Each structure stands twice: as structure tokens, then as C-alpha cells.
A and B are shown apart, each in its own frame.
Chain A
Amino acid sequence: DIQMTQSPASLSASVGDRVTISCRASQNIATYVNWYQQKSGKAPRVLIYAATSLQSGVPGRFSGSGSGTEFTLTIGTLQPDDFAIYFCQQAYSLPYSFGQGTRLDI
């Protein structure tokens, strides 16, 4: 099974900051990575799919990069609504697996 190692586990930032979250896969997964945002008591919401593609309706301040084993989610200018938990997911092979999450706090 493919392991996804996400860092950092938590991150404190301010409105207007630029932040990056990283994910490392235990083997080459090409660009089969999705990034999700989850708020308390809600289902995850996809932000980025296939490593770099912005999901329809998601603000352009979110971007993804990477291929192979190293992936990054970047939030260009933090907004108050962005404080949440973020997960990466590999969609290369079953069983699909997730990083442990990054909690983004003020």
C-alpha cells in the first residue's frame, strides 16, 4: 500500500500570508494526487485534483504542484475562510490513502 506523509501537522498563519503544505508518497504516483479542505463537522471538499488542476468553484489562490513522490499545496493569500484542515490523497492505486492532515490555525 502507498503511504502519504504530510507536513506540517499544524501551521499557524495570518490573513494575507502565503502558506505551503507538503505531501510525500512512498512510491512514484505520477500526478495522481488530490487535495481536500475539511471544516469541523463537514465532509472534505476537493480543492485540487490530478496534482495541479483547480476544481471548479475553488478560488484561484489555491494551487498545487509536484509529480512523482513530492507534492505541494499553496494558498496564495490566506483568507479568513481558509482556516481548516487540509488533506492530500493518492489516487494512483487502491487502496486510496490520505495524509494525516494539516491543521491551519490563526
Chain B
Amino acid sequence: QVRLQQSGPGLVKPSQTLSLTCEISMDSVSSDFAAWNWFRQSPSRGLEWLGRTYFESRWHYDYAVSVKSRLTITPDTSNDQFTLQLNSLTHEDTATYFCTREDRGTRCHSPWGPGTLVIVSS
């Protein structure tokens, strides 16, 4: 059974960069059948898709327009994990961040990581 475990800071200062890692168990970040996504959730914005990566002949990356200039998702094949880096943080980036596995056939997102509450504050 695939499991995702998240790690990263819960408090980041404005203008700094957020870095979160999602560690994959019982699957591979290079899987032909999966895409690896990041979402976030806040009371003001609800559930919001941020971006994803997947491997099909080469690595592919898709990003939400709202964060595209600030977001980088990086796969780590050596450790079967993927990371989110979001720079130039503002208070509006305060949210709970989740990673997910997306089945590329059914487009079902399961499992989800447990979530990381990130507060942007000085």
C-alpha cells in the first residue's frame, strides 16, 4: 500500500522560500502509472492545486498559473521523493500543504500525505 510522508518547516518568514518534501513508500517517483502532485488548503482559498511532476520518456512538470513564477517541483529518484519549493512567500501562502499520488489512468488522487501547516509570519 502506497504511503506518503511529508516533512518541512511549519513557520516561514515573508519573502523567504518554502521547501517541503514528500517521501514515497511502496512506489517509485519514476512510476509509469503515477503523477505526483502538490495541493494546498486554506479557509480563504479552499483546496487549490499547485502543480505536479511525472515521468513519461522524460520528466514533465505542470504548474498552476497563480504560482507558476514562484514554484518548482523536483523529483528525487535516488530517494523516491519529490519536493516543493515556493519562493517569495507572502501571508497569502499560509495554508496546509498536501502531496498526493495521482493515478494517471483514472486521475484518482490517493493516497494523500498527512499535510503540513505552513504559517508565513515574521
Contacts and interface: CB of A to CB of B under 8 A. Distances in A.
Contacts of A94: 49, 62, 64
A87 B37 CA distance: 18
Contacts of B46: 98, 100-101
Nearest to A41: B115
Interface residues of A, number: 21
B64 A43 contact: no
Nearest to A101: B46
B110 A55 contact: yes
A34 B100 CA distance: 14
B80 to A, nearest CB: 20
Contact of B106 (A42, A49, A89, A101): A49
Interface of B: 37, 46-49, 62, 64-65, 98, 103, 106-115
A97 B112 contact: no
Given A89-B47, A96-B49, 11 more contacts: A32-B107, A43-B115, A46-B110, A49-B107, A49-B108, A50-B108, A53-B108, A91-B107, A91-B109, A98-B47, A100-B46
6 contacts: A53-B108, A55-B108, A55-B110, A89-B109, A91-B108, A101-B46
A34 B108 contact: yes
Contact of A95 (B49, B112, B113): B49
Interface of A: 32, 34, 42-46, 49-50, 53, 55, 87, 89, 91, 94-98, 100-101
Given A43-B115, A95-B64, A95-B65, A53 B106 contact: yes
- 10 A-B pairs closest in CB distance: A49-B108, A91-B107, A43-B112, A96-B49, A98-B47, A46-B110, A95-B64, A95-B49, A43-B115, A49-B106
For the residues of A in contact with B, the DSSP-based class is: loop
A17 B115 CA distance: 32
A50 B110 CA distance: 13
Contacts of A101: 46
A101 to B, nearest CB: 7
B106 A50 contact: yes
